[in-house]
Structure 1
Amino acid sequence: MRIKQISVSGLFGIFDHVIPLNMDERITIIHGPNGFGKTAILRILNSFFNSRYADLRAIPFRNFRVEFDDTTSVEIIKNSENADGSETNNIGFNFYNHDSKPAYFALKQPDREVFISYGSDNSIRLREQIYPLIFRDCSTERTLSLEDSVEVYDSLSSSKLKLKEEPDWLEKLKDNIHIRLIESQRLLNVFPNRSSRRSAETPSMLSTVSAYSDELAKLMQDKFKEYGTTSQSLDRTFPVRVVKQQPSTDLTDEQLRYQLYELEATRSRLIEVGLLDKDEDAEFQIQPQDIDESTKNALSVYVEDVGKKLSVFAEIATKIDLLRKIINNKFAYSYKEINFSKEKGFVVTTSYGSSLSNSKTLLPTDLSSGEQHELVLLYELLFKVQPNSLVLIDEPELSLHVGWQVQFLKDLQDITQLADLNILMATHSPDIIQDRWDLTVELKGPHK
């Protein structure tokens, strides 16, 4: 299920926009003058599908409609005044499912207590409202905006946070459509402090690039642990399986040598991206005269086992490899290079004015704002978004010089193919668009 078209009327009380999404190439670019609602449209989409209703109330519009590729649609309606003329900020949702009567849900104004569900049958009071859109964590007494609190507490749960009152059809819709907003302000973010036990975790404002570096290190460590567990399991039964292995007449010596060569190439690639440690004894070279029927049986089991072990790294290695390729292409102009390790995550070095053996290691925060923006954006696309999501990118050109902007769309296409993503981005930059105006939708002013 994918979003096919979005439309808004009465945005800021002025604008009506219709935005068909590019279903084939999966990248849609919206552009237009400042103030026409590019960012607002992204925020409305993100607010609805991620239950950030404070944002939805804060953005002035009359009607917002999302159409899906299965012919269903959902409509968000804002009523600015009651029947008696008094001001209100009520929001209603209509879900149109083919020819059936539309399902309707009215979003209530937030009460003093907000209940957040951590599952189908478990809800706890997380926050107490002390002022409109401001909440206090009941366990830590920290004060947060609704947006920050939802983001922080959502990251502490394996499931999405949802208002307890949402109807089943709305929860099901949000389970099928995954939206992630990558905002223009990307260098600082709110992250949970995991230095203490879960019940006392508190959010902190941290450098995003540092937080993502630590996060990648943890992802790499987890994969290495999985690799170790798989290796132990296979090694324990290896002798028995070799003995029971039936001689194969189909496997030739040449095929076996090629499979061994492929395994070594894969292992070298994993060492290069930091997932495996370099082992001088790892190479397994077989001479033609060394292969007979008994060794062939053992080697065929070995090849199968090593393939299973290394397959643990397949997805993360491909993503790291693409990130490394794109970033190093950008960083070369400033004599920097990025690599990755299980201990540190991002490892940035510079060798300007010195030999490669005396290269200097930099902290991720030592990178320029443009370099950090690029690294954070690409990391989010590759590692933070689940497949088949719609990713909303606001002003990707921020802090990027023209050369990087020109290359951005091509890099984005490589990433969307690998990560299976759909993209809706807002930009002012013709250098981002280049000659791909067929992917664009222009936001225009009201007809006069």
Structure 2
Amino acid sequence: MRIKQISVRGLFGIFDHVIPLNMDERITIIHGPNGFGKTAILRILNSFFNSRYAELRTIAFRSFRVEFNNSNVIEIIKNSDNEKGEPRNNLVFYFYHPNSDILSFSPRPIKIRTDLDIPISSILDELIPGLERISPRKWLYIPTEETLSLEEVIERFENLLPSDFKLQESREEPEWLEKLKSNIHVRLIESQRLLNFVPNRSSRRNLTTPSMLSTVSAYSDELAKLMQDKFKEYGTISQSLDRTFPVRVVKQQPVSDLTDEQLRHQLNNLEETRSHLIEVGLLDKDEDSEFQIQPQDIDESTKNALSVYVEDVEKKLSVFVEIADKIELLRTIINNKFAYSYKKISFSKDKGFVFTTHNSPLSNLKTLSSTDLSSGEQHELVLLYELLFKVQPNSLVLIDEPELSLHVGWQIQFLKDLQEIIKLTDVDVLMATHSPDIIQDRWDLTVELKGLEK
């Protein structure tokens, strides 16, 4: 199931927008003046599909409609505030399915406990990285320079608050809504993407609270863990196959239809695959890995043993196929971009990203840290890593301002890189941009957000 169109009415009390998604090329670009709601539309989609209803309540709109390619429709209706201007439990979701009754659900807003020894207002700056208290009931959120009230902080950062502070009211979603969300995965790549929330144990109150870390560093550690997990899986399969190898060789039926040339070709392909996996950091270099077979070496018994060997190695190396393709594409794109500043990326099971540089073609390589990368280089790396490693197949990926910190040459190349990524990851992309250099000559992929008719 895929989303084919979204529409919003009364956005900020002003705008009505209809956005059909490009179902063939799988890239849709929305553009328009500042203040017309590009980012808000992405946030509404992300908030609904990831059950961040507190955030959904903070965005001003009357209705938001999502139409799917199987004729299902979800509509979010937002009722106005009450007479005192206080927000009500004002979200209602309606689900329309052909030839079925209309289903609905109204999620409850979060409530904070007031019977605790420590009021939550006194420790919000500990719980939420980047939040600084500036008065008894006001906080500055440093990454966006916004001043927020207690209610606004709780609404915005509900997902970061420990469950101990929340009233244990039922917030279970109905089965039809859970099923819908299980078929549609949505991920938002925000404009602020260089800082990342990671779990951290607070020594003062024995709470697991998030802390901020450079996203490049966080993703480097994450990739190292992914690579290690694949290597462990490879080792487990290897042990199983190696243990039964002698028995399977003995039981192997003669392979008379396999020619010597075909067998050599299979062995050469395996060595090429192994060399590639070593190159991208997934396998350690093994000096004895080459398997040289001379014409006079192959008799029928040897051929039988080698055919089993080939099957085994193919099974072992197959665990790396998906991650190796992603690492290779990431390496190719990044090294093409970083070449101008004499930097290079490689990968390691121990370190994840490994950055090196040289001042001239003849100088020695010098290892760099992630903090040595420019803002633009970090933005490019984080954006590509998100697209390749943080999304599931058939997801809808939302990208807010992909052009941030990228010079014009990189912006011009972005759509081509994105098309290569989509081929590999099988995702749809909806992005919001101000940059004509991102769009280039592909205005057929764009939807313009317009103001009121004069």
One fold, TM greater than 0.5?
A: yes
Tell me the residue number matched to 1:378. 384
Equivalent of residue 258 in structure 1, options 262, 265, 268: 265
CA distance in 2, matches of 1:373, 1:181: 15
Report the CA distance shift for 1:243/1:194 in structure 2 as closer, same or farther (over 3 A).
Answer: farther
Tell me the residue number matched to 1:317. 324
Is contact 2:249–2:304 with CA below 8 Å preserved after alignment?
yes
Is contact 2:202–2:209 with CA below 8 Å preserved after alignment?
no
Report the CA distance shift for 1:164/1:108 in structure 2 as closer, same or farther (over 3 A).
Answer: closer
CA distance in 2, matches of 1:349, 1:389: 33
Matches within 5 A, 1:129-278: 130=120, 148=157, 150=159, 164-193=171-200, 201-278=208-285
Once the two structures are TM-superposed, the CA of residue 112 in structure 1 deviates from its matched residue by: 3.0
Letter in 2 for 1:361: T
Equivalent of residue 434 in structure 1, options 428, 436, 440: 440
Once the two structures are TM-superposed, the CA of residue 151 in structure 1 deviates from its matched residue by: 6.2
Once the two structures are TM-superposed, the CA of residue 98 in structure 1 deviates from its matched residue by: 1.1
Q: Percent identity?
A: 75
CA distance in 1, matches of 2:201, 2:362: 39
Gaps of 5+ in 1: 115-127, 138-142, 155-161
Tell me the residue number matched to 1:93. 93
CA distance in 2, matches of 1:145, 1:417: 40
Tell me the residue number matched to 1:80. 80
Secondary structure, aligned partner of 1:24:
coil
CA distance in 1, matches of 2:343, 2:41: 37
Report the CA distance shift for 1:260/1:429 in structure 2 as closer, same or farther (over 3 A).
Answer: same
Secondary structure, aligned partner of 2:344:
strand
1:406 maps onto 2:412 in alignment: yes
Once the two structures are TM-superposed, the CA of residue 87 in structure 1 deviates from its matched residue by: 4.5
1:48 maps onto 2:48 in alignment: yes
Tell me the residue number matched to 2:348. 341
CA distance in 1, matches of 2:186, 2:170: 17
* Equivalences, count: 419
CA deviation profile, 1:38-71 (whole Å, cap 9, x unmatched)? 0000000001111111211111011110001110
1:307 maps onto 2:306 in alignment: no
Tell me the residue number matched to 1:70. 70
Tell me the residue number matched to 2:13. 13
Once the two structures are TM-superposed, the CA of residue 99 in structure 1 deviates from its matched residue by: 3.0
The RMSD of aligned alpha carbons is: 2.6
Tell me the residue number matched to 2:138. none
CA distance in 2, matches of 1:10, 1:34: 17
CA distance in 2, matches of 1:86, 1:200: 35
Once the two structures are TM-superposed, the CA of residue 378 in structure 1 deviates from its matched residue by: 0.4
Letter in 1 for 2:54: A
Q: With structure 1 as the length reference, what TM-score do the two structures score?
A: 0.88
Is contact 1:79–1:88 with CA below 8 Å preserved after alignment?
no
Once the two structures are TM-superposed, the CA of residue 194 in structure 1 deviates from its matched residue by: 8.0
Is contact 2:75–2:94 with CA below 8 Å preserved after alignment?
yes
Once the two structures are TM-superposed, the CA of residue 104 in structure 1 deviates from its matched residue by: 1.4
Tell me the residue number matched to 2:112. 112
CA distance in 2, matches of 1:86, 1:202: 33
Tell me the residue number matched to 2:286. 279
CA distance in 1, matches of 2:154, 2:273: 47
CA deviation profile, 1:162-187 (whole Å, cap 9, x unmatched)? 97332221111111111000000000
Secondary structure, aligned partner of 1:415:
helix
Letter in 2 for 1:297: N
CA distance in 2, matches of 1:286, 1:152: 63
Gaps of 5+ in 2: 128-132, 134-152, 164-168
Tell me the residue number matched to 2:142. none
CA distance in 1, matches of 2:202, 2:231: 22
CA distance in 2, matches of 1:4, 1:352: 49
CA distance in 2, matches of 1:129, 1:333: 53
CA distance in 2, matches of 1:147, 1:229: 44
Tell me the residue number matched to 2:147. none
Report the CA distance shift for 1:207/1:152 in structure 2 as closer, same or farther (over 3 A).
Answer: farther
Is contact 1:338–1:346 with CA below 8 Å preserved after alignment?
yes
Once the two structures are TM-superposed, the CA of residue 350 in structure 1 deviates from its matched residue by: 0.3
Structure 1's consecutive aligned runs of 4 or more residues displaced over 4 angstroms after TM superposition are 84-87, 134-137, 143-149, 151-154
Tell me the residue number matched to 2:399. 393
Q: With structure 2 as the length reference, what TM-score do the two structures score?
A: 0.87
Report the CA distance shift for 1:145/1:293 in structure 2 as closer, same or farther (over 3 A).
Answer: farther
Equivalent of residue 335 in structure 2, options 328, 345, 360: 328
Segment drifting more, 166-175 vs 412-421 = 166-175
Segment drifting more, 210-219 vs 187-196 = 187-196
Is contact 1:130–1:136 with CA below 8 Å preserved after alignment?
no
